[in-house]
Chain A
């Protein structure tokens, strides 16, 4: 069993997403620790990319702020090393294929292993292209997380059967960002996934309120929240940690 599976052992999972270095890495470290202290099950750390094509305006802004602050892949690995002195829950990276490719796939993924990253989410690496990094992920025991979308239809079974760690089920069409309503028939998608794999399923994109998180976790194994947390960071900046902690608590209470 991969370490990521532990996040789903004790009831439903709440997975916060944080862009590393927005507004600086010290704040990221404080925010991650606040999320862990308030019951987060797994942390999704975003390595900023100049052109995040799967993101809506909120997370685009976080990427930009982080890069302007001088964050690099090496500095993010240093952050992970620091976090691993006390953070024991699973942590995964969310970034874009070029960040991994440019660093060198073997070098990037071996450094994930060395620093204590458990999985990799790459929104621009679909099933057809996963061989780009899968051999290195298997070599170093890092889970390459698969995404399933509302448009996946006949592809769901194929993706689910080979999924590792957890499955990131994209709730809606479009990019990341807060949505007032999620209309996709996610129950049907989860049903097909369950028929093909035991890998846990967490739903992300568009979730911001405890009610939504509770509903999404109710039909799957967990909820992922990004933009709503980034908004708190944008509002409170370097003082955001307690506010994020409070928010994470309301969300973990809602999903369990």
Chain B
């Protein structure tokens, strides 16, 4: 697989997706992102780079991931056929490894010896710590203090892998603050350090680079679907925080107008409350964390303290390409509450014997509403972006059980 093949819908030179995207960052970082863009443009079509990345994807991460026909769920819901794209089966347990292997390889080619990253649920931090261990690089992960409590096991995993985990104690002490702190760290140490951003967000070229590395998901779905069903799916559903597994799941279907693309946002306690993280549904256009996009914010542009049970979706913004897909009506973004996600988490466990990440459970929840309304000859693909082992203790507590890791 060549990266150039994934770039059919390339952004304009300034990294714009419609009005969204751009490079709203301190001057101190400008040469760093320019250097990154130049390196990416040099390696994205390099046969050796691509061969090495494909080998890592297949031999190390366990790609291609399975496209599994969820027979019991299909029968139970009584509508569209449901397939699960099993990114949860990847090494480290989530889709995050796709992007991290790509960026770590790129960083190595650029001569960088140190990776820094932000993490919410801890999946991107674990993936970055893993790649750093594999490539023999130093690794520092910034994680909101609140999230280090919610996802204590992942903190231990990162440390076990040799990474330093820094709990971020500013602001809401969640993903947003971890991103801010990683950006601050990058401005103070650039020459040996690559900021391995975990989602399709931040300044150009990150949204494009991360999308290209994640686009392997939709490339595989397309091939696997054609092989199993001889046709394309009617809908692809994925959860959206920053939006990396969703853009990866959507990307190769953007040109296939009959395929509905549905992103599930974390509504928290509901989009009519302040305790929500449903950016497209409740936010408006703004400029933050290096990009123009939709953000949850107050009337003066102060970024709102968002909330979701899912640490990985607990972010006040969304990637600029999603903002664009929303603007042009190509993708739909729907809110899913904590309660709906937790029910879907339990449902998939009991119905298919698959425990999804609470993030991915947001996509499962929407599929449960959508499938019964569709006909039996229609097909839905749900991307299970990660596995749910990390969430069991938190969900048990949500259900009132006294459980501690």
> Footprint of B on A, CB under 8 Å?
49-51, 53-54, 56-57, 60, 67, 72-74, 96-103, 123-129, 132, 147-155, 159, 170, 173-175
Total cross-chain contacts (CB, 8 A) = 116
Inter-chain contact B31/A151, CB cutoff 8 Å: yes
Inter-chain contact B28/A50, CB cutoff 8 Å: no
Q: Mark B32-60, 1 if CB is under 8 A from A, else 0.
A: 10000000000000000000000000000
CA distance A253 to B114 in the complex (A): 44
* Among candidates B184, B287, B299, residue contacting A174 with C-beta atoms closer than 8 Å: B184
- 14 CB < 8 A contacts A-B: A53-B26, A53-B180, A54-B26, A56-B184, A96-B287, A96-B288, A98-B286, A124-B290, A126-B23, A127-B27, A151-B27, A152-B31, A154-B31, A174-B187
Closest A residue to B24 by CB, please name it.
Answer: A124
Inter-chain contact A152/B30, CB cutoff 8 Å: yes
Chain B residues near A154: list those with CB within 8 A. Answer: 31
A244 to chain B, nearest CB (A): 25
Inter-chain contact B297/A51, CB cutoff 8 Å: no
Inter-chain contact B28/A149, CB cutoff 8 Å: yes
Chain A residues near B4: list those with CB within 8 A. Answer: none
How many chain B residues touch the partner (CB < 8 A)? 36
A57 to chain B, nearest CB (A): 8
CA distance A39 to B190 in the complex (A): 38
Inter-chain contact A175/B187, CB cutoff 8 Å: yes
B136 at the interface (CB under 8 A from A): no
CA distance A174 to B28 in the complex (A): 8
Chain A residues near B22: list those with CB within 8 A. Answer: 128-129
B14 at the interface (CB under 8 A from A): yes
Given known A98-B288, A175-B184, contact A151–B25 (CB-CB < 8 A): no
A220 to chain B, nearest CB (A): 16
CA distance A154 to B31 in the complex (A): 9
Inter-chain contact A99/B300, CB cutoff 8 Å: yes
Closest A residue to B295 by CB, please name it.
Answer: A98
CA distance A56 to B177 in the complex (A): 13
Closest A residue to B15 by CB, please name it.
Answer: A128
Chain B residues near A56: list those with CB within 8 A. Answer: 184
Closest A residue to B34 by CB, please name it.
Answer: A155
Inter-chain contact A102/B27, CB cutoff 8 Å: no
Inter-chain contact A170/B300, CB cutoff 8 Å: no
B289 at the interface (CB under 8 A from A): yes
Closest B residue to A125 by CB, please name it.
Answer: B24
Given known A72-B300, A98-B301, A149-B26, contact A124–B287 (CB-CB < 8 A): yes
Inter-chain contact B28/A170, CB cutoff 8 Å: yes
